[in-house]
């Protein structure tokens, strides 16, 4: 019965430290990062916090609320408050915010699903306004007519979340291929599958297979952001000075 342990993976911060919503959310983020969406379990969480699974319910209503709190905690850290860099123009600021979300999702792949879920079924929660405000303010600075703010911001946010999620999935897919496989190997396997499609039905996808093989992910991502920004600029009332 004597635990022969002292494991190096300290799994209980300190069993005397009181449980709190904050500690629970922190442990949930760690679990999501290390074990993925399927790894977050009340039992695993309780073990990591060296408590009973029922105890968590004293601080958190249910798993949905826990996921929402974890999502908001990470986003709040990734999109800090404040007016950003005043030297950069709004376009550069938008690119920076977009890239910030891209990187956050790369570091926490579970964010992609959760952010979409939060914005979709819980738009009154803290996550949606946080992202909307951050992006929308910069869109306004672009001199877009007021009735177009919402459309422009929606397009930007949906694209950013979708593309960043795609990128994170590519990383995850590469890891799943094997520990030695890298991102290029994964994209290559996708390209091969596309090249095997029926030439009759999928000429364009076959032609695009090559492009997917060697592309820089961030560059591609930012090219998409620039495309949206180019569309946004066409909404401005008058021709801008050069």
Partner DNA sequence: ACCTGAACACCGTTCAAGT
The contact set with a second copy (CB under 8 A) reads 81, 112-113, 116-117, 119-121, 123-124, 129, 132-133, 136-137, 140, 147-155, 157-159, 161-163, 165-166, 168-169, 172-173, 189-190, 193-194, 197, 201-205, 208, 211-212, 215, 220, 223-224, 227-232, 234-235
Query: Any contact of residue 63 with DNA (CB under 7 A)?
Result: yes
Say which residues have a Cβ less than 8 Å from residue 79's Cβ, sequence separation at least 6.
Answer: 97, 100, 101, 104, 130, 131, 134
Find out whether 24 and 56 touch, Cβ atoms under 8 Å. yes
Q: How many CB atoms lie within 10 A of CB 221?
A: 22
d(Cα 94, Cα 138) in Å, to the nearest integer? 6
Alpha-carbon torsion (197, 199, 204, 208), positive or negative: positive
Shortest CB 16 distance to DNA, Å: 10
Radius of gyration of the chain (CA): 22
In the bound state with a second copy, the residue whose beta carbon lies nearer, of 26 and 224, is 224
Binding DNA by CB under 7 A: which of 26, 33, 59, 169? 59
Binding DNA by CB under 7 A: which of 26, 47, 55, 155? 55
Shortest CB 77 distance to a second copy, Å: 16
Closest CA to 79 of 131, 142, 146: 131
In the bound state with a second copy, the residue whose beta carbon lies nearer, of 1 and 230, is 230
x-or-dash pattern for DNA, window 15-54, by CB under 7 A? ---xx--------------------xxxxx-----xxxxx
In the bound state with DNA, the residue whose beta carbon lies nearer, of 40 and 225, is 40
Shortest CB 201 distance to DNA, Å: 28
Say which residues have a Cβ less than 8 Å from residue 130's Cβ, sequence separation at least 6.
Answer: 72, 75, 76, 79
In the bound state with a second copy, the residue whose beta carbon lies nearer, of 178 and 203, is 203
Partner in contact with 55, chosen from a second copy, DNA, none, beta carbon below 5 to 8 Å by kind: DNA
Find out whether 131 and 72 touch, Cβ atoms under 8 Å. no
């Amino acid at each position: 019965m004597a635990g022969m342990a002292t494991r190096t993976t300290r799994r209980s911060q300190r069993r005397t430290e009181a449980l709190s919503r904050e500690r629970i959310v922190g442990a949930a983020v760690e679990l999501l990062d290390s074990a993925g969406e399927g790894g977050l379990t009340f039992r695993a969480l309780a073990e990591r916090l060296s408590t009973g699974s029922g105890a968590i319910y004293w601080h958190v209503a249910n798993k949905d609320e826990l996921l929402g709190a974890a999502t908001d905690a990470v986003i709040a850290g990734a999109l800090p408050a404040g007016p950003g860099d005043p030297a950069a123009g709004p376009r550069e600021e938008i690119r920076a915010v977009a890239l910030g979300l891209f990187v956050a999702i790369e570091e926490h792949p579970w964010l992609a699903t959760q952010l979409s879920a939060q914005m979709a079924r819980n738009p009154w929660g803290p996550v949606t306004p946080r992202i909307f405000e951050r992006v929308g303010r910069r869109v306004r600075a672009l001199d877009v007519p007021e009735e177009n703010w919402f459309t422009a911001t929606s397009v930007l946010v949906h694209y950013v979340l979708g593309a960043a999620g795609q990128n994170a999935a590519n990383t995850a897919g590469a890891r799943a291929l094997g520990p030695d496989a890298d991102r290029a190997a994964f994209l290559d396997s996708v390209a091969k599958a596309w090249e095997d499609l029926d030439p009759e039905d999928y000429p364009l996808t076959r032609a695009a297979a090559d492009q997917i093989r060697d592309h820089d992910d961030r560059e591609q991502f930012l090219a998409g952001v620039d495309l949206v920004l180019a569309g946004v600029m066409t909404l401005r009332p008058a021709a801008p000075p050069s």
